[in-house]
Amino acid sequence: MTTPTLEQFLDDVKNHELTIHQNNGVYRHLTFKNPESINQYFNITTYPEYLVITGDMGSLIFSRLTDMFNFFRSDDLQIKPDYWSEKIESINYNAKSASYSEFDIDAVKKYAQEDLNDYLDGNQTLSSNDREELIEEFDNKIMCASNEWEMVEAIRNFNCNGFEFVDFWERDTSKYLYRYIWLCYAIVWGIKKFDEVIK
């Protein structure tokens, strides 16, 4: 699944209405929901140094400034998923990264292909038989891997005709979850709607 665009998000929430349960300085509790459905509803709750978003698309806790609305506020609904992911609070690293990203096998295959191409371009002395054997082994082991565990094992153990992967996992091989990007849009949109109501 690809990540949502702003236009897709806006279509998802076109019938959402704001309910203000609490608005006392940095203490806020807001609900955004279509009155006819609970599909894709969400709550935004803030207290000093924290913003919590919960609802149909998941839950996240962010921490950065005393008033987190000042941290996220964006009149043009621009999001900063990279920077914001650094502000997610969690019990441990694995739970934290799982809340916003997942393994991207397509990116891994792309990087692996680039490494192979660089190796082949830099090794003109490789015989045509060795070259064909390497490409066939690469296609069978790397390009046929169908999940994270197969891919990690294939990259780790690959060695054919002098080619192996060195420091491969230093690259980012993850992609943002659909729901993480959706929640980022929900935060900036929700803050904008709140600002429109209380001004």
**Pairs from 11-14 (Cβ < 8 Å, separation ≥ 24):** 12/40, 12/182, 13/40, 13/186, 13/189
Handedness of CA 140, 146, 152, 153 (dihedral sign): negative
Q: Considering only CA atoms, which of 147, 143, 57 is closest in space to residue 102?
A: 147
CA distance 88 to 81: 11
30-74: pLDDT as tens digits: 999 999 999 999 999 999 999 999 999 989 999 999 999 999 999
Provide the whole-model pTM: 0.79
139-169: pLDDT as tens digits: 999 999 999 999 999 999 999 999 999 999 9
Residue 28 pairs in a beta bridge with: 23, 46
